Amino acid sequence: MKRDVQSTYNYSIAKLFKFVDDWSYNYLDHNNIKRFLKTTGYRPNKQVIESIVRRFDIDGDAKINFEEFQKGL
């Protein structure tokens, strides 16, 4: 996914974060991740979403802020 996004002329991690953060909470949670993956044609199960959140969530609050998202990518 990162390579696909990077190949666009206006790539930015901030734009990607805002796209995934579809409710503008300034963090990503399980629901944001699930909706984003569904829009890309992927039907994630609960374990996949939980794995993604655990991978990116450095402080353990079950939310991915921009800094965590940026480091994760």
Q: Which domain holds residue 41?
A: 2-72
What CATH number should be reported for the domain holding residue 64? 1.10.238.10
pLDDT, tens digit (0-9, with 9 covering 90-100), for 1-58: 555 555 666 778 999 999 999 999 999 999 999 999 999 999 999 999 999 999 999 9
pLDDT at 71 > cutoff 60: yes
DSSP code string of 31-69: HHHHHHHHHTT----HHHHHHHHHHH-SSSSS-B-HHHH
**pTM for the structure as a whole:** 0.83
Considering its fold, how many domains does the chain have in total?
Answer: 1
